[in-house]
Amino acid sequence: MSSARLPVLHLFVRNFDSPNSIKFSLSCRLACFNCECRLSMEYKWRVKKSERGITLENFIYKNLGDWSHKQVKTAIDNKRAFVNGQNVFISKWNLKPDAVVLFVPSDKDQITKTNSRYRFIDVLFEDTYILATNKPAHVDFESYVKTVQDYLVRQNRIKSYPYVGQMHRLDKETTGVMLFTKKKMANSLADQFRDHSLKKYYLALVDGRLKRENGVIKKSVEKGQFESGKKVKVSDSLDSKKATTLYTVVERYRSATLLKIEIKTGRTHQIRVHLSDMGFPVVGDKLYGLQGGIPFRRHALHAERIDFKHPVTSKPMRVTAPVPPDMQRLIDEFRESA
């Protein structure tokens, strides 16, 4: 039988009259008993009245059926979703009735990665009871905990997963100090987080030139699903919780300011929401930032330092994480253009 390749077959199906219609195109080359296919799909739906307020991620997940939430979110992060013709890369974006959602995944978006993004971790301090690490950017909390577990398995040469006490969290894009306990007897460290006796310091680059040298932001915040995918907002409602953020100017640039932040409370997105409400959002913040603000691939927020008492020895501890390279480069660019 000849091995000559057959002509390319193109198949196009379009039907957007139905609210849950699908368009797809298929290009296929056949050669003897071999087949090399490239499949590209576009999904298009219209939001029903009963779906008012549903998030973009949940809407796509519900309509696809065979994708995981993580796969859908990754595709949205990769700018594969459009709402009424506009690219939307915020997975928690709330949809309105009659909105048209277009989803254009690549053939790689549904591949599930089983390995952690980082096999090795940057250890800042470690003893028998606690572990302090320097978390990199773009790693979600669950994946990072798995990486820490893998590290302890290699260190202790054991087959089962060791104990890892999760004391606090950092957002996916935030870098810096994270504390874990290695033994349950050290879990009293969590009390220092709850009673706010330990001190947490951050560095933040914000849009705009802040005139005040320092200040205190005392505004309650509320968690929920709000407009444009926001998870937290400043609020005085009964569901809100007190939040206090202290800031000091480190350096001023032409269009930005470097701040040292101390938080007295540890509310979700507290720093980002407080600074945005003050009119100086964190550079690169997709949720709470400015439209057309200073471009940066993530929000420029770094958990620089934690001061605490060792949960077993009561020794005063200070753990510091160096500024990550991408944020340092941005600071250097601001300094050169100042």
Which residues are known catalytic residues? Answer: 171
- DSSP type of residue 55: B
Helix, strand or coil for residue 332? helix
**Long-range contacts at 307-311 (CB < 8 A, ≥ 24 apart):** 307/198, 307/199, 307/201, 308/179, 308/189, 308/192, 308/197, 308/198, 308/199, 309/192, 309/197, 309/198, 310/129, 310/130, 311/129, 311/130, 311/181, 311/185, 311/186, 311/187, 311/188, 311/189, 311/192
Query: Residue length, the chain?
Result: 338
Question: What is the Cα–Cα distance from 156 to 96, expressed in whole angstroms?
Answer: 52
Question: What is the Cα–Cα distance from 285 to 136, expressed in whole angstroms?
Answer: 17
- DSSP type of residue 123: E
